[in-house]
Structure 1
Amino acid sequence: MTAAAGRDPFGQDPSDDGSARSSEVEFPSLLEDDLEDLYENAPCGNLSTLLDGTIAKINGTLLAWLGYTREELVGRRRFSDLLTGGGRIYHETHFAPVLALQGEIRGVALDLRAKDGARLPVLVTSVVKAGGDGRPPLIRTAIFDASERRSYERELLDARRAAEREDERLRRLVGKLQRSLLPATLQTPPGLESAAYYRMASTDEVGGDFYDLFPLDDGRWGFFLGDVSGKGVEAAAVTALARYTLRAATVYTPDPAAALQNLNTVLWQEYRADARYCTVVIGILTPTPTVGGFTAVIASGGHPEPLLLRADGSADYQCTKGRIVGAFPNSRYTNTTVAAGPGDTLLLYSDGLTEARTAGSETPDGRYGTAALARFAADLAPTSAGAAVSAVTELLGTFGAGLTDDTAVMAISAPPGQSTGTQR
């Protein structure tokens, strides 16, 4: 008889050294020992209880965490006895009812109370095991130490609170800086009315809009409203420079066009490398006491045209053209005279209003636009400065997230049928 290929004459595989057969004999007993050790010394706590919570079995890991002996717990204590006061309430009102209804509950955060009173944060998963062969059903529970996780969560919470405090501090600083760029109180020419409003698009960044209304020595009043490019501290620096340059220039030479040329020179020399510029409309207001109302000589540096809301119910833009200020070295500006009678209101605003996005907009890009603003103003006329600014404020509130830029609004009006009084 010929020996089978790959085997010796005795029928054995030459590569078989007997280790496989030996493993087949030893593996079941080793596995049994390993399973018992895995339960007893698992990296998590293992617990079996009766349906009423009485502890039937507990592993060494959980005993070591709690500091109890097996005899102190098995058959003598319930799982809920190992919980803190708040944990016991949660166990009775939520944990146990859900477990009874669904047969399992997973990943519940609780605190165990050790024998020495120490608290142990844990994550608990329990499942109900049906009984059989006369054995009662059991609740098997795995308990994981969550001390490091709880500590990590606490650190995250502390970091979040610190960040929120820092954000609040930043918002307060931004608010204070923004207010410092605006007049503390808006002065009003005798016999006239004035009102202003500033809407920040973001509480985290300083905007570049600014306005002012102030008396001059000869009974006239200077006013302006502008918008600096960009946001943040850099924009705030340009805003402060623009505001005080305009005010000083107007006091020295009450000529709006000359004041804009002065500001253009200053910004070009200071910020041309950084491309910092602004738009602004500036005017010199003269009350007309004999007929009521006022005249305003106005110059514009690339700013949206003011609106004049008249006592007869009409509203129209006042043509004021000019280059943006600070972008070119030799810009020239011209003056335009606006006559406002009793009941008329002059409304100035920044482009945050007309460029706000709004549903149902008639403009191709979805912006509110100048045409819509003109109709809005005509619906308001005749009105007063305070009423006009209040109406625009309410309008801004309707834009919601569509308002992406800061917006400044200022209005000056003459009461209907009243004289402005004699200027001294």
Structure 2
Amino acid sequence: MSKTDDEGRSGPQQDEGQTDDLEFSAFSALLEDNAEDLYEHAPCGYLSTLLDGRIAKVNTTLLDWLGHQRADVIGRKHFSDLLTVGGRLYHETHFAPTLRMQGEISGIALELKAADGTRLPVLVSSTVQKGSDGEPLLIRTTVFDARERRAYETELLRARKEADQERDRLRALATTLQKTLLPPTLVNVPGLDVSAYYHLASDDEVGGDFYDLFPLASGTWGLFLGDVCGKGAAAAAVTSLARYTLRAAAVYDADPAAVLGNLNTVLNHEYHGTDPRFCTVVFGLLTPNPDRGGFDITLASGGHPPALLMRADGTADFLPTPGGQLIGVLPDAHIATTTVHLAPGDSLLLHTDGLTEAHTHATRGGKERYGDDALLDFGRTLAPTTAADTINAVRDLLDTFGTGVDDDTAVLAIHVPRTPSEEQQ
């Protein structure tokens, strides 16, 4: 009983193995029978050419793509005859020479010319087949339809072109807006030379730095230079508000501390919600001093970097305004002031922190900030100097930082020139 059962169980197992072998043999035979069909109707084009490029064999797929009859191609056309004019030129100057030297070439983008004159973008790979003696016999070439890839690349290029145009448009808009936030020219102050410069850290965004110099009553002049937090349209709105508020406040009450107090009130009132906006700013009141010559200047600072004074005797130092608070943060900001006399030959430089916070390239990786100490040494090297020479020196300095300047920088220099008689002394 058990023997019969064992035999019964073992019999079907042998039959299954035989069946698998028969199925595999039949499948292999099917593959052999369809090898030519697989070649003819492959999802890519195949052709074989003699060494001179004459076509010896081509599959149906490639013929259908190009709309040619086999009899019109075999032995009658060279592979280069299937190419467009530009493709034929590239084939003769690059494709064929590379294939001869290396024995193979792959993934080359070319265009084939169909019988109806249309163009077919393709990717071509070729291999030189050699005989047992190592001598070249023929060239086998595979052709892949690249129409979808070309369409994708065309769409990608179109999208990139549109993006470039949009970026250029936004850049032009940002540049135009930036210009509207700065005075086109600084006013002429009798007995004073003035020069200014604005360095854009990015052409794509509007910065928040600003400056101005304008006349007030009784032969006095007001000047200011500031830096709004942030960039873009929001910062531009605050910049515009700050500029016009400072001008209007100076007409009402020219005292520098009162001017900044008014600006603080306006900004704190307008931007006290979830998106607070503030700025650092220094405001100056220039008054001629007929007794001593030159000008007296009173500076009020709201959290702004100190101005750099460069004397006619070659010395230089900062004008400290300690304790000045950011403008727009608190309802009643403390405003620090200082008064100094600018004698003939003296120069004063106002700047935003984009200058002192620039990354230098003197250290590895360019991570070190330029800093106040370096700027003071810079001023001591320049002194005595003029407004124009100071601005030119700052521009050259910023150029040495290159991409290390990651924030906009505004600089304003004023200089009391010496008279010819004073120059001779």
TM-score (norm 2): 0.93
**For 2:369, which of 367, 370, 374 is the aligned residue?**
367
Partner of 2:338 in structure 1?
336
Structure-2 change in CA distance of 1:220 and 1:167 (3 Å): same
**Deviation string, structure 1 residues 262-312 (Cα, Å, up to 9, x no partner):** 111111111122221111000110123454321111110010000111110
Q: Distance in 2 between matches of 1:215 and 1:25?
A: 102
Partner of 1:57 in structure 2?
57
Q: Distance in 2 between matches of 1:31 and 1:169?
A: 61
Q: Distance in 2 between matches of 1:270 and 1:404?
A: 28
8 Å contact from structure 1 (residues 188, 213) kept in 2? no
Structure-2 change in CA distance of 1:85 and 1:331 (3 Å): same
8 Å contact from structure 1 (residues 191, 419) kept in 2? no
1:17-28 equivalences under 5 Å are 19-20=19-20, 22-23=22-23, 26-28=26-28
Q: Distance in 2 between matches of 1:152 and 1:96?
A: 28
Structure-2 change in CA distance of 1:360 and 1:26 (3 Å): closer
Partner of 2:319 in structure 1?
318
Structure-2 change in CA distance of 1:331 and 1:13 (3 Å): closer
Q: Distance in 2 between matches of 1:370 and 1:24?
A: 84
**Deviation string, structure 1 residues 353-400 (Cα, Å, up to 9, x no partner):** 111111347xx9721111110110111111111110110111111112
**Deviation string, structure 1 residues 120-145 (Cα, Å, up to 9, x no partner):** 00000001111359997111100001
Partner of 1:67 in structure 2?
67
Partner of 1:348 in structure 2?
350
Q: Distance in 1 between matches of 2:114 and 2:194?
A: 71
Specify the code of the residue in structure 2 equivalent to 1:142.
T
8 Å contact from structure 2 (residues 302, 336) kept in 1? no
Partner of 2:293 in structure 1?
292
**For 2:404, which of 398, 402, 405 is the aligned residue?**
402
Specify the code of the residue in structure 2 equivalent to 1:275.
P
- Structure 1 residue 216, shift from structure 2 partner: 1.1
Q: Distance in 2 between matches of 1:50 and 1:125?
A: 16
Q: Distance in 2 between matches of 1:332 and 1:78?
A: 88
- Structure 1 residue 22, shift from structure 2 partner: 3.9
- Structure 1 residue 30, shift from structure 2 partner: 1.3
| Partner SS, residue 261 of structure 1 | helix
| Partner SS, residue 219 of structure 1 | coil
Q: Distance in 2 between matches of 1:248 and 1:136?
A: 89
Residue 107 (structure 2) pairs with residue 107 (structure 1): yes
Q: Distance in 2 between matches of 1:400 and 1:12?
A: 83
1:91-106 equivalences under 5 Å are 91-106=91-106
Partner of 1:268 in structure 2?
268
Question: Which residues of structure 1 form unaligned runs of 5+?
Answer: none
Partner of 1:151 in structure 2?
151
1:144-293 equivalences under 5 Å are 144-273=144-273, 274-293=275-294
Q: Distance in 2 between matches of 1:329 and 1:62?
A: 80
- Structure 1 residue 12, shift from structure 2 partner: 8.2
Q: Distance in 1 between matches of 2:378 and 2:76?
A: 80
**For 1:376, which of 375, 378, 383 is the aligned residue?**
378
Q: Distance in 2 between matches of 1:211 and 1:377?
A: 21
The structure carrying a bigger helix percent of its residues is 2
Partner of 1:388 in structure 2?
390
Specify the code of the residue in structure 2 equivalent to 1:43.
P
Q: Distance in 2 between matches of 1:393 and 1:316?
A: 20
| Partner SS, residue 377 of structure 1 | helix
When structure 1 is superposed on structure 2, of 144-153 and 28-37 the one drifting more is: 28-37
Q: Distance in 2 between matches of 1:9 and 1:411?
A: 105
Specify the code of the residue in structure 2 equivalent to 1:308.
L
8 Å contact from structure 2 (residues 212, 224) kept in 1? yes
Q: Distance in 2 between matches of 1:212 and 1:257?
A: 17
Q: Distance in 2 between matches of 1:277 and 1:417?
A: 42
Structure-2 change in CA distance of 1:394 and 1:132 (3 Å): same
When structure 1 is superposed on structure 2, of 166-175 and 20-29 the one drifting more is: 20-29
Residue 81 (structure 2) pairs with residue 81 (structure 1): yes
- Structure 1 residue 42, shift from structure 2 partner: 0.4
Structure-2 change in CA distance of 1:241 and 1:11 (3 Å): closer
- Structure 1 residue 33, shift from structure 2 partner: 2.1
8 Å contact from structure 1 (residues 292, 414) kept in 2? no
When structure 1 is superposed on structure 2, of 60-69 and 281-290 the one drifting more is: 281-290
| Partner SS, residue 352 of structure 1 | helix
Specify the code of the residue in structure 2 equivalent to 1:96.
A
Specify the code of the residue in structure 1 equivalent to 2:177.
L
- Structure 1 residue 329, shift from structure 2 partner: 1.0
**Deviation string, structure 1 residues 139-163 (Cα, Å, up to 9, x no partner):** 1100001011001101100110110
8 Å contact from structure 1 (residues 67, 114) kept in 2? yes
8 Å contact from structure 2 (residues 129, 136) kept in 1? no
Partner of 1:308 in structure 2?
309
Q: Distance in 2 between matches of 1:375 and 1:209?
A: 24
8 Å contact from structure 1 (residues 289, 419) kept in 2? no
**Deviation string, structure 1 residues 186-240 (Cα, Å, up to 9, x no partner):** 1121121000000111111111110000011221100000001111111111111
- Stretches of 4+ aligned residues off by more than 4 angstroms: 2-14, 132-136
Q: Distance in 1 between matches of 2:12 and 2:308?
A: 108
How many residue pairs match? The answer is 418
Q: Distance in 2 between matches of 1:300 and 1:14?
A: 100
8 Å contact from structure 1 (residues 53, 79) kept in 2? yes
Q: Distance in 1 between matches of 2:406 and 2:10?
A: 92
Q: Distance in 2 between matches of 1:234 and 1:25?
A: 77
Residue 48 (structure 2) pairs with residue 34 (structure 1): no
Q: Distance in 1 between matches of 2:90 and 2:11?
A: 69
Question: Which residues of structure 2 form unaligned runs of 5+?
Answer: none
